[in-house]
Amino acid sequence: MNCEVCQLKELEVEHFEIREVLRCILHTIVFHRALGLVRPKVIDLELFDITYVQCGDGELEKKIDEKIEQFISWVEKHPNKKSQVCISFYEVKNKHPSWFTNKTERLYWEQWYINLNVSQQQKVHSGKSHPSKIVVDPGGNSLEERSARRAALETSLREVLFQIIKFVNEKKDHVPPISDGVVYFPYEVTIPRWILSLIHEI
């Protein structure tokens, strides 16, 4: 089974926009890959005039928010760098058990790369803020520049969502069969240049 890779369009975001942008993209991807019984939940972004869809699972939402916070922490420690967030879907294969090992193998069948270019004007926020709280970074740019940049980011974010829709419709054969009672395929969220500790398993 081949692994389908999708490189999403790069987004130029400010620090305070990271949370909303990542939340939107990650949930959209997971929603298209949660092929079990799902009650969709429509969410309106606060910073942009965009509506996206979640799976309506509180646990899933919590886990994704935790990963987003980890990414933000990494960005704060490594400013002015282009960063990536990778979400991978895999299957668990059991290797031949032996005396010493009982390893399981992961077969990644799909990977999504979210490319972010966090702007230089950022403020370091110590500690964890509430996931739903939006911190507005005033910055030093003029109002017109900020609004133009915000509009451009909204357009780019919308293009990213359309890109996801197009990808999930074009590539379907590689998706594994759905197991009864299973809602989500196993996935993990990583920062390629910094391995995160959290891995989601079924």
Partner 1 sequence: MDLHGMAPHSESGKLEQVVSQFLLKSLHIILDSRIPSLHPRDPTCDSRVRKSDKWFNLVLGDRPAALDNLNFWHRNLMDPMIIDIILVQQGTAISTSVGNLLSGSPGRTATETVIERWLVQFESPPRGIASQPSEGSAASYKKTYKKSIIFLRSLYLQTRLLPAYRIFKQLSSSSQPFNFDIIYKVSSFSEPFSRVEEEMMKEYRFVPIEALPGRLHVSVTYRPQLSEFNLQPLTTMPPKIISDYVGSPATDPLRYFPSSYKGDRAISFPSKVMHSPTSVPFQRPHSWTSGFHKPVVNHHLAGSPTVYRTSQMSYDSPSPPMERIQNHRRPLHQRAPFYDECQLSPPFSPSVSPSTPTYLRNSESPRQTRASSETAPVTIPSPISGRSSRYISPNFSDPSKLSLPPLSPRSTRLDNSSNESPSGMRLIKKPEASRADLGSAGQKVLKDNKDDSGRFSGLLSSRSSSKLSFQDDIDDCDFSCPFDVDDVDPPDSRISQNVDWKRNLESTSMGRKSQDAAVGVLVHMLRTAPPLRQDSSCYSSRSLRAEVENDGVATTASGFFMPRRTSDALEELRSYREMKDLLLSKSGTRVLTREPP
- Chain residues binding partner 1 by CB under 8 A are 28, 31-32, 35-42, 44, 49-53, 56, 158, 161-162, 165-166, 168-170, 172, 175, 177-178, 180
Q: What minimum distance in Å lies between the beta carbon of 45 and partner 1?
A: 11
Cβ-in-10-Å burial (0-12, 13-18, 19+) of 59 comes to exposed
Q: What minimum distance in Å lies between the beta carbon of 88 and partner 1?
A: 18
Closer to partner 1 by Cβ: residue 15 or 27: 27
The residue among 170, 171, 178 whose CA lies nearest residue 110 is 171
Sign of CA dihedral 65, 67, 68, 73: positive
Closer to partner 1 by Cβ: residue 37 or 136: 37
CA distance 125 to 76: 8
Q: Which residue reads 């919590």 in tokens? A: 62
> Which 8-state DSSP code applies to residue 191?
B
Q: What minimum distance in Å lies between the beta carbon of 47 and partner 1?
A: 16
Q: What minimum distance in Å lies between the beta carbon of 164 and partner 1?
A: 8
Closer to partner 1 by Cβ: residue 58 or 79: 58
